[in-house]
């Protein structure tokens, strides 16, 4: 992807350079060639030319549309992580990056990744806007408080690369930096084995699901006071106010933090809001766990 972006960059640079040279040459040549030779002199009586106007309307239009389509295609692919990605969880807070690997190893301001693997990042923020920017991979995404955003990349060469916070976030904005350490897959495995894991995201999520007593209401068989969460991820949920929404990460997030916002049809709005009680990291773990819950029995699907 980085290569594709550089090619697009070079294309636009070439187009721009052509027009800068053209405009500069025309103005300079005209200014010199038609310089005033007599104080009373005036210019020729020329009012315009429809053909020329249409030419310099049409050519920039076509070129800009080429850039639009090219850039839109690239953006579209960069916005959609491939299905076979490994999931990393990154949370920004003033002024550090907290990274959790799928295997549960955590690190701060560093992110070890294996090369040749698609890496999808779920990005959150504890406080204000941040932006997880890795210029070498040509990727960047805002960490927006109250939301989970995603980005993805594939490192192709082992090495160390800058991580910057690219969205201004206060005093130590320029200190909110780190590095991606891209490693051969076997080195990455070795590194993971040497790290201390406090359980995978899913395991931690499962533990939180019971310590926060989610499981007392959200039972697998829909007999609880809350809807069953088995198979909820990716499904279409019928809400009490008649709307239908697709249950993605941000729906799950909102339903935990601000549970009254979207109440599922057939259930009472009795769930407490967990705003302020669950950290962004725990939230991501909970969601990771909920995403693993498969429909227990076909009958459950009725209640969705």
Partner 1 sequence: MATVPQQENHSYLGAPYGLAAWLLTKDHKRIAILYLISITIFFAVGGMFAAGIRLELTTPQGDLWSPDMYNKLFTLHGVVMIFFFLIPSIPAVLGNFMLPIMIGAKDLAFPRINLLSWYIYVVGAIITLAAVFAGGLDTGWTFYTPYSSISSETAVTTAALGVFVTGFSSILTGLNFIVTVHRMRAPGMTWFRLPLFVWAQYATSLVMILGTPVIAITVLLVAAERALHLGIFDPKLGGDPVLFQHLFWFYSHPAVYIMILPGMGVMSELVAAVSRKQVFGYGFVAFSSLAIAILGFLVWGHHLFVSSQSIYAGLVFSIITMLVAVPSAVKTFNWAATMYKGSVTWESPTYWVLGFMGLFTIGGLTGLFLATMGLDIHLTDTYFVVAHFHYIMVGGAIMAYMGGLHFYWPKMTGKMFSEAGAKASAILVFVGFNFTFFPQFLLGYLGMPRRYHAYPAEPIWQVLNVLSSAGASILALGYLLPAFYFTYSLFKGKAAPANPWGATGLEWQVPSPPPTFNFDEDPVVNEPAYHYKPRHEVHVNG
Distance in angstroms (rounded) separating the CA atoms of residues 120 and 154 = 9
Burial of 25 (0-12, 13-18, 19+ CB in 10 A): exposed
Residue 255, interface with partner 1 (CB under 8 A)? Answer: no
Burial of 12 (0-12, 13-18, 19+ CB in 10 A): middle
Residue 73, interface with partner 1 (CB under 8 A)? Answer: yes
Nearer to partner 1 (CB atom), residue 30 or residue 225? 30
Nearer to partner 1 (CB atom), residue 32 or residue 302? 32
Among 121, 165, 202, 256, binds partner 1 (CB under 8 A): 165
Residue 84, interface with partner 1 (CB under 8 A)? Answer: no
Residue 272, interface with partner 1 (CB under 8 A)? Answer: no
Least distance between partner 1 and beta carbon 154 (Å): 15
Rg, the chain, Cα only? 27
Stretch near partner 1 under the rule CB under 8 A, chosen from 18-26, 185-193, 233-241, 264-272: 18-26
Nearer to partner 1 (CB atom), residue 162 or residue 243? 162
Segment 89 to 128, residues that bind partner 1, using CB under 8 A? 94, 127-128
- Token pair of 141 as six digits: 């995404």
Segment 180 to 239, residues that bind partner 1, using CB under 8 A? none
Nearer to partner 1 (CB atom), residue 131 or residue 300? 131
Site size with partner 1, rule: CB under 8 A:
87
Nearer to partner 1 (CB atom), residue 65 or residue 193? 65
Residue 10, interface with partner 1 (CB under 8 A)? Answer: no
Stretch near partner 1 under the rule CB under 8 A, chosen from 107-115, 160-168, 217-225, 239-247: 160-168
Residue 12, interface with partner 1 (CB under 8 A)? Answer: yes
Between the alpha carbon of residue 190 and those of residues 82, 186, 187, 198, the distances in Å are 25, 6, 5, 17
Among 147, 207, 262, 303, binds partner 1 (CB under 8 A): 147
CB of 98 closer than 8 Å to CB of 106: yes
Tokens 């991979």 sit on residue: 137
Distance in angstroms (rounded) separating the CA atoms of residues 134 and 113 = 13
Distance in angstroms (rounded) separating the CA atoms of residues 282 and 289 = 10
Residue 160, interface with partner 1 (CB under 8 A)? Answer: no
Among 3, 39, 84, 194, binds partner 1 (CB under 8 A): 39
Residue 47, interface with partner 1 (CB under 8 A)? Answer: yes
Among 101, 111, 122, 167, binds partner 1 (CB under 8 A): 167
Distance in angstroms (rounded) separating the CA atoms of residues 51 and 60 = 15
Distance in angstroms (rounded) separating the CA atoms of residues 205 and 198 = 12
Query: How would DSSP label each residue in 262-298?
Result: SPBTTS-S-PPP-TTTS-HHHHHHHHHHHHH---SSG
Among 86, 103, 115, 129, binds partner 1 (CB under 8 A): 129
């Amino acid at each position: 992807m980085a290569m594709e972006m550089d090619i697009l960059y070079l294309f636009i640079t070439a187009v721009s350079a052509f027009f800068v040279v053209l405009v500069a040459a025309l103005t300079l040549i005209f200014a010199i060639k038609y310089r005033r030779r007599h104080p009373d002199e005036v210019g020729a009586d020329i009012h315009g030319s429809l053909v020329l106007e249409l030419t310099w309307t049409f050519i920039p239009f076509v070129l800009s549309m080429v850039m639009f389509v090219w850039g839109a295609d690239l953006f579209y692919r960069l916005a959609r992580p491939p299905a076979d990605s490994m999931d990393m969880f990154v949370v920004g807070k003033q002024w550090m990056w907290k990274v959790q690997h799928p295997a549960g190893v955590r690190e701060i301001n560093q992110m070890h990744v294996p090369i040749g693997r698609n890496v999808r990042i779920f990005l959150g923020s504890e406080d204000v806007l941040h932006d997880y920017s890795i210029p070498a991979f040509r990727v960047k995404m805002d960490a927006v408080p109250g939301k989970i955003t995603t980005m993805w990349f594939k490192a192709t060469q082992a090495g160390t690369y800058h991580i910057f916070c690219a969205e201004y976030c206060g005093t130590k904005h320029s200190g909110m930096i780190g590095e991606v350490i891209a490693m051969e897959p076997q080195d990455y495995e070795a590194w993971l084995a040497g790290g201390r894991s406090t359980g995978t995201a899913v395991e931690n999520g499962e533990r939180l699901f019971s310590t926060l007593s989610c499981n007392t209401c959200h039972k697998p068989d829909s007999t609880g006071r809350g809807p069953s969460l088995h198979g909820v991820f990716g499904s279409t949920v019928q809400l009490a106010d008649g709307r239908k929404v697709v249950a993605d990460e941000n729906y799950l997030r909102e339903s935990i933090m601000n549970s009254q916002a979207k109440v599922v049809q057939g259930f009472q709005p009795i769930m407490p809001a967990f705003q302020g009680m669950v950290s962004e990291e725990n939230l991501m773990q909970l969601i990771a766990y909920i995403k693993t819950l498969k429909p227990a029995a076909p009958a459950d699907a009725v209640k969705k």
